[in-house]
Amino acid sequence: MQVERASTGYRFTEGPAWWKDGYLLFTDIPNNRIQKFTPGKGMEVFRENSGGANGLAFDERGRLIACEGTARRVTRTDAKGRVEVLAAKFEGKALNAPNDVVVRRDGHIWFTDPAFGKSEDTKELPFYGVYHITPKGELSVVSRWEKRPNGVALAPNGRVLYVAGSDERVIRAYDVDRQGNGTNERVLVTGIEGVPDGLKTDEKGNLYVAAAGVLIYGSDGKFVRKIEIPETPANLAFGDGDLKGLYVTARTSLYRIRLDVKGSLQNER
């Protein structure tokens, strides 16, 4: 298996999201920038002054959902560049620092709101949250954590939500219904090697975890294998026209690995 360095020279890469028109967006958090990578064409800046954007995702209409950690909000940008704020406060208090996001094909959105680094000093809410936004824009909390959540992903059928617990080094799972409500919270994976960050699933339901390398688990939580990456991964996304390219954001670089399985359409578009 070949691990290709697709691009390098960044400060801290995160939040990759693939769009079916043939390009990948990802964030360079310290540089406050969203980058655009098109295979065969190379790199360009997609957005400056990104609000400290971290996790990214596309909805079915191609609108970009961004967790803006510094701006403490979740936004949606349409094809004309118009930015709409989807969430900035909960129970009258500012969000901590929205981190990662996933969008189901029916428009339901889930995101995590931990507080890493300086964000902890300005935190107003008494918990770290896993949140849900309905297609109508209604915000609710799925779970109030004492420890910090991080990456999020959906099972291929859109009925299970996975959340990485960075402090506990676990993956938690929730059953989510048609209305987006989360129930049956449970710990699916424990004892993760490294600090779990971004998550994705493939079409078979396997869970990919950015930690000490890319760690792959079955939907039952059992370890399958590890993909070594030259730098510590932060997040990942399936891409390319066949969704068999695994893109990994890892510190100063973007890596690409060709696999024999496609990514889940609940995670990539």
Residue pair 15/55 in contact by the 8 Å Cβ criterion? yes
SS3 of 45, please? Answer: strand
What single-letter DSSP state applies at residue 91?
T
pLDDT value of position 39: 95
Question: What single DSSP character describes residue 262?
Answer: P
> Which pLDDT tens digit goes with each residue over 160-201?
999 999 999 999 999 999 999 999 999 999 999 999 999 999
pLDDT tens digits, 213-265: 999 999 999 999 999 999 999 999 999 999 999 999 999 999 999 999 999 98
Quick one: pLDDT band at residue 25, thresholds 50, 70, 90?
A: very high
Alpha-carbon span 241 to 251, nearest angstrom: 25
**DSSP code at position 118:** G
Q: At 218, give phi and psi (nearest 5°).
A: -75, 170
- CB–CB of 72/98 below 8 Å? yes
The residue ranges of DSSP E strands in 78-115, in sequence order, are: 83-87, 89-90, 93-94, 101-103, 109-113
Query: Is residue 71 pLDDT above 90, yes or no?
Result: yes
Neighbouring CB atoms inside 10 A of 260's CB total 6
Looking at the predicted structure, is the pLDDT value of residue 18 above 90?
yes
pLDDT on residue 120: 85
Note the pTM of the prediction, 2 decimals: 0.97
Determine whether domain 3-258 maps to CATH 2.120.10.30: yes
Q: How far apart are CA 105 and CA 180, in angstroms?
A: 12
pLDDT at site 266: 81
- Residue 268's pLDDT band (cuts 50, 70, 90): confident
213 with 227: CB under 8 angstroms? yes
Q: Which band of pLDDT confidence, cut at 50, 70 and 90, is reported for residue 269?
A: confident
The secondary element (H helix, E strand) that includes residue 78 is none
Domain boundaries, given as residue ranges, for the chain: 3-258
Structure tokens that stand for 97 in this block: 């620092």
Report the chain's mean pLDDT, rounded to a whole number.
Answer: 97
